[in-house]
Amino acid sequence: MVLTSDHALSFGTASLGGLYQPVQPEDAQVVLQTAWDAGIRYFDTAPHYGNGASERRLGDFLRDKAGWVLSTKVGRLLTPDAAPPAVINGFHSALPLKQHFDFTYDAIMRSVEDSFQRLGLNRIDILYVHDIGDPGAGTDTAHHRAQLLDSGQKALRQLKAEGVVAAVGLGVNTVEICEELLGQVEMDLILLAGRYTLLDQTAKDRLFPLLCNHGTKLVIGGVFNSGILATGPVRGAMYDYQPAPQHILDRTAGIARICDRHQVSMAAAALQFPAQSDHVVSTLIGTSKPGSLTRNIAQYHQELPQELWADLRQAGVIRE
């Protein structure tokens, strides 16, 4: 397996492409150095993150280092844009390119070649198919599924067989596509965002029973569900990229009360929750701010009382 216990905490670099706010190249290097100095050795990126800006910045950082593991993604092809908007798909530091979805054999092979060029590295360890089957991205269609199943999966098998990558899988936000494609597409790993958290355990309900049958492990991202499990149920709190609805605010307030009783930060509990499952091999965190990263790392390693988890289970927050 590419990921070991040394990679239990990993760093996602979407923010380094300027997600939600601009990030200067030198500032990206500072936060990457902070992650490295803290012992993080698994880094995740994607062409989508700033139209390749994240890949370029991460590659620049890793080029003179050893002992790292890197994942990137396929599914979007990037082409030059003569008149790019100032903010592209939410990224403020994006390269002047445009993107379109393509999960075919030719597109996946080209995407990997392009990623090698942007990274300036000679190795990609893990390759995820990005955002397939996502209604919000417009890829929850028979057309996109057919692209992957008819030819794209051949590219994944070939890249792994030839040693270009060591592992393949999905990088998605929805459980449904994982359930559907397990057994049809080779999957060593699934990078799943937001679906195994203190607020959303749909992965446990439906996906966990399938994983053992296929030898697939999980990397869990989005542990704060877009922020609310870090900020608490405050005015303007975000849940799954949208303002949190009242029932989510109420549930979060209940979790916060239990954490307060044990004098534990809710963010620390959110960070540590996924790793309690044997299915999870890494918890992915990401930020553009070194201070936030240092705080999250400390909270991930903080010793929490077993009584906290017992109370969260008794309250139905953690479902059996």
pLDDT digits (tens, 9 = 90+) for 160-205: 999 999 999 999 999 999 999 999 999 999 999 999 999 999 999 8
Q: Active-site residue among 42, 73, 240, 300?
A: 73
Dump pLDDT digits (tens) for 282-316. Answer: 999 999 999 999 999 999 999 999 999 999 999 99
Query: Average pLDDT, stretch 99-126?
Result: 98
Is residue 73 among the annotated active site residues? yes
Contact 200, 225 (CB under 8 A): yes
Q: Sketch the domain layout of the chain as residue ranges.
A: 5-314
Contact 195, 202 (CB under 8 A): yes
Q: Active-site residue among 27, 37, 42, 49?
A: 49
- Residue 253 clears pLDDT 70, i.e. is over it: yes
Dump pLDDT digits (tens) for 221-247. Answer: 999 999 999 999 999 999 998 999 999
Is residue 49 among the annotated active site residues? yes
Strands 238-239 and 242-243, bridge-based pairing: antiparallel
Average of per-residue pLDDT values in the chain: 97
Per-residue pLDDT, 198: 98
Report residue 1's pLDDT band, with 50, 70 and 90 as the boundaries. Answer: low
Tokens in use for 120?
Answer: 């300036």
Entry pTM: 0.97
Dump pLDDT digits (tens) for 45-83. Answer: 999 999 999 999 999 999 999 999 999 999 999 999 999
Least confident span in 104-108, 166-170, 209-213 = 209-213
Per-residue pLDDT, 320: 81
CA–CA distance, 52 with 68 (Å, rounded to integer): 20
Architecture, CATH, for domain 5-314: Alpha-Beta Barrel (3.20)
Report residue 206's pLDDT band, with 50, 70 and 90 as the boundaries. Answer: confident
Q: Active-site residue among 6, 27, 37, 44?
A: 44
